[in-house]
Structure 1
Amino acid sequence: MRSLARTTDGEALLGDETGYVPLSAAAPGVETIREALTLGSQSLPEPSTAFASRVPAEDLSFASPLPDPGKLLGIGLNYADHAADLDERPPEEPASFFKPTSAATGPGGPIRLPPAERTDHVTAEAELAVVVGRTCRDVDAAAADAVIAGYLPVIDVTAEDVLRRNPRFLTRAKSFDTFLVFGSHIAVPETGTDLAGLEVRTVVNGEVRARNTVDNMHVSPRELVAFHSRVMTLEPGDIISTGTPGAHVIRPGDEVRAEVDRFGSARADVVAGPEEIV
């Protein structure tokens, strides 16, 4: 499976299971990940076509694959088991919400917990996110692969105590800085790849705290793309995070992972306090 990634010094990469090459070496004239998204699965070249040697992933240091993401959409209660855990009934239509781009951070995080007087019950949630590759409106779910660039494991973070005070506080509960951690690469499967059996796992300190498979979603990833394309124009770099199998409370010193079969993982350390901005 091909993947798109970016190093900490900003070089865009194209890779597979054996390693990475500079993106421009395989796709001349394509300099950024955002530009590569528009190629789609069928037009994205194989790393083997590049006039460059592969570098193993373990020899590279990765930043966020998308330093300039577009719209960030999340989906609530998309697994039946998660809704039951929260004593809520799943909505009949996708329960979507926005997160600001300032909430996004790259591989490793860290997730910076806000001061306790703002929230002292923060949870982390593993999710599979869809990355949009082409501008579109009114897409049919059966044709969604034509506008999907790939998939990205993410860690969504929520100030649960803020949300429980009032469900109208959802935006605030989801929007603290570092409350969305991207994995190191965007997985680009072949068109038509079956997603149903993919397992998504929330892992805290090495222990699996929640797990479920994509076929247990109320609304599948492709259907989520179609649904939201009927509401708004979707554009390259937009991300739809498809919901979590379950959340777990996090504290300073914890390590959180979002693991998605075949598509990789996102990892972050948890630390206390926001980073100072001068």
Structure 2
Amino acid sequence: MKYLARTIDGTPLLGDDDGYVPLAAAMPELTAVRDALALAAAGTLPDLDTVPAARIDPAHIQFGPPLAEFGKLWGIGLNYADHAGDLDEQRPDEPASFMKPESALTGPGGPIRLPPIEQTDGVTAEAELAVLIGRSCRNIDIETTADVIAGYLPVIDMTAEDILRRNPRFLTRAKSFDSFLVVGPAIAVPEEPLALEELTVRTIVNEQVAAANEIRNMLFPPAELVSFHSDVMTLEPGDLISTGTPGAEPISPGDHVSAAVESIGTVDAPVVR
């Protein structure tokens, strides 16, 4: 696995399982992680063993969001049948997608800032696998989505469930408060085909697993979501599709939330008000 990331002060990084080097040391012509997304989608990121720079242990790096600016932020609701059942919802026969504003996004470590109680007193946290687009595409077949996916990252999605339950048309508001999307510290770029269906996504609150499920149990797997949404609009580098959660957990100030996606990574954040 290779990784694309940025430090908290914005220095672009390229990594592998042994550590990170400055992206400029590997590819001097690139000045930003976004510039490397097409190479990630094409599988042509350089081997770090050929880079004349010592790897830095990730334990010694303070990570910021992996992109300075993301593009469109798509979310998918009810994408695991078990989760739909928990919410007493019928399983959808096509992706139940919604969009979030970029202002909802925050970097690894958060914090997740709950809105005033007068606005909502029923926020839940949900671990999800997110897909990041690396090349512009439109009307792409499921079989060729690997050519446009730069990589994957864990995210924590939040929902003001009490607002949503009042009226399903309030979904955008329920999903759009500041800090209601925490992105992982690194974009995981598989070096060979990855058996995504075998991986498990876990929602963890206060070190307790609140929900877990395998990606194979998604109603609409990641490749299908990319293809489906490319029929709706042009997908562009930096667009993110968060693929749905195995389960949500209510959160309160003082809690600590993690999204763990097997083989991809983990992101965590404290909860404050």
Shorter-chain TM-score tier: over 0.9
Residue by residue over 1:162-216, the C-alpha shift from the partner in whole angstroms, topping out at 9 and shown as x without a partner, is: 0000000000000000000011100001353211111000000000000001000
Matches within 5 A, 1:99-248: 99-248=100-249
Q: Does 1:37 align with 2:53?
A: no
- Partners of 1:250 and 1:265 lie apart in 2 by 18
Residues in 1 aligned to 2:250 and 2:50: alpha-carbon distance in whole angstroms: 45
**Does structure 2 conserve the Cα–Cα contact (< 8 Å) formed by 1:126 and 1:153?**
yes
Equivalent residue number for residue 12 of structure 2: 12
Q: Deviations over 1:76-110 (max 9, x none)?
A: 00001000101111110000000000000000000
Quick check: 1:82–1:246 contact (8 Å CA) kept in 2? yes
What secondary structure sits across from 2:68 in the alignment? Answer: coil
> For 1:101 and 1:199, how far apart are their aligned partners in 2?
27
Structure 1 gaps, min length 5: 273-278
- CA–CA distance in 1 between the matches of 2:138 and 2:104? 26
Corresponding residue of 1:21: 21
C-alpha separation between the residues in 2 aligned to 1:108 and 1:42? 29
Measured against aligned partners, the alpha-carbon deviations of 1:18-62 in whole angstroms (never above 9, x if no partner) come to 100011111221111111111124211122221110000001100
- Does the aligned pair in 1 maintain the 2:73–2:241 contact within 8 Å? yes
User: How far off is 1:237 after superposition?
Assistant: 0.1
Pairs aligned (count) = 272
Using the size of structure 2 for normalisation, the TM-score is: 0.98
CA distance in 2, matches of 1:265, 1:241: 14
- CA distance in 2 between partners of 1:237 and 1:46 (Å): 23
SS at match of 1:235: coil
Aligned residue type for 2:195: D
| Identity rate, percent | 62
Deviates more, 1:34-43 or 1:57-66: 34-43
1:75–1:95: 8 Å Cα contact kept in structure 2?
A: yes
Aligned to 1:276: none
CA distance in 1, matches of 2:103, 2:49: 36
What runs of 5+ residues in structure 2 fail to find an aligned partner?
none
Structure 1 distance, partners of 2:19, 2:42, is 18
Q: Using the alignment, how far apart are the partners of 2:49 and 2:248 within structure 1?
A: 39
Amino acid aligned to 1:63: G
Q: Structure 1: which amino acid aligns with 2:86?
A: D
Q: In angstroms, what is the RMSD of aligned CA positions? A: 0.8
